[in-house]
Chains A and B, each alone.
Chain A
């Protein structure tokens, strides 16, 4: 909590968030959300885009939003590589749980009903 380590902390961060950058990221987040709504409320109901194509697009767009929030708002892009890896690598284990449970769930269909 002393000011000594924090002054070191700030010296090393030459590249940080400015007001302009913040508003740029806001514009990107709002634009991505608008695209998601356009797909959900216009393209899918009209039948222009089937659900099995819309769903992967939603997931890609969501991951893009997550990237912008974590990288810029949470400042992770400007941190040391050691901290970045110790946060990002454990998150990759979640992919393992997704694969295991989505695969497993196909076997539940027969007795949940």
Chain B
């Protein structure tokens, strides 16, 4: 290496002329961000399609009339309680994930592993709840391409029960929560792999727990999508 700095090297020293990264993040982390951006587009397309179909309808099944049960406890009369629990579980598992990232900054291997295990447990609990919710709806007669015979109880007073709109609701509900659930499932699998790596000391040897931040980004994104699914399917 020559000690002389040429003119060309000098030009390259600023962030936007190629000297160093203007983003100041590691390559894998930046790619995770751009993957999540593309995933955000996929989810918003699904949710906007749902919004457009709902705007074009003149009646729509009401969420607090459809989601009335807490599996294993009450079958009717507890609107939105179960989904509230699911929302809380997912937010909690997001928090345990940030705590794992925080422990990773301190290079505390044992703490990272413990918080990752809690995150995995949170993810499985959410998936279990979703399975219960799906099977409950399925027993009532909702599925892709099928709806219950009696629709009156799902519509508010003054709205005409419509088989077409109920079917649209069922298809969109299972497609969108299913796609989200698939993301949760892949997130749990990735989290399990990372937890095993943490336990074996892979990241300690690497000298950085950056991998936890990357899977953390994915996991928070899954939580973020749920926030929107929750609002647009259960509240609005």
Please report A residues at the B interface, Cβ cutoff 8 Å: 1, 3, 5-10, 12, 16-19, 22-23, 26, 29-30, 33, 36-37, 39-41, 45, 55, 58-59, 61-62, 65-66, 69-70, 72-75, 79-80, 82-83, 86-87, 90-91, 94, 97-98, 101-102, 104-106, 108-109, 112-113
Question: Given A101-B51, A112-B164: A58 and B231 within 8 A (CB)?
Answer: yes
Per the bound structure, the CA–CA distance linking A104 and B53 in Å amounts to 10
Chain B residue contacts of A23, Cβ below 8 A: 95
Q: At the interface, is chain B mostly helix, strand, loop or mixed?
A: helix
Question: Given A9-B24, A10-B105, A30-B91: A87 and B56 within 8 A (CB)?
Answer: no
Chain B residue contacts of A86, Cβ below 8 A: 23
**Interface size class for chain B?**
35 or more
Is B44 an interface residue, CB under 8 A from the partner?
A: yes
Is B149 an interface residue, CB under 8 A from the partner?
A: no
Question: Given A6-B208, A79-B24, A82-B15: A22 and B53 within 8 A (CB)?
Answer: no
Per the bound structure, the CA–CA distance linking A82 and B105 in Å amounts to 23
Contact between B56 and A26, CB atoms less than 8 A apart: no
Contact of B33 (CB < 8 Å), options: A16, A65, A87: A87
Contact of B26 (CB < 8 Å), options: A9, A29, A105: A9
Q: Can you add 4 more A-B contacts, CB < 8 Å, to A79-B24, A83-B25, A90-B41?
A: A37-B80, A69-B94, A73-B95, A109-B56
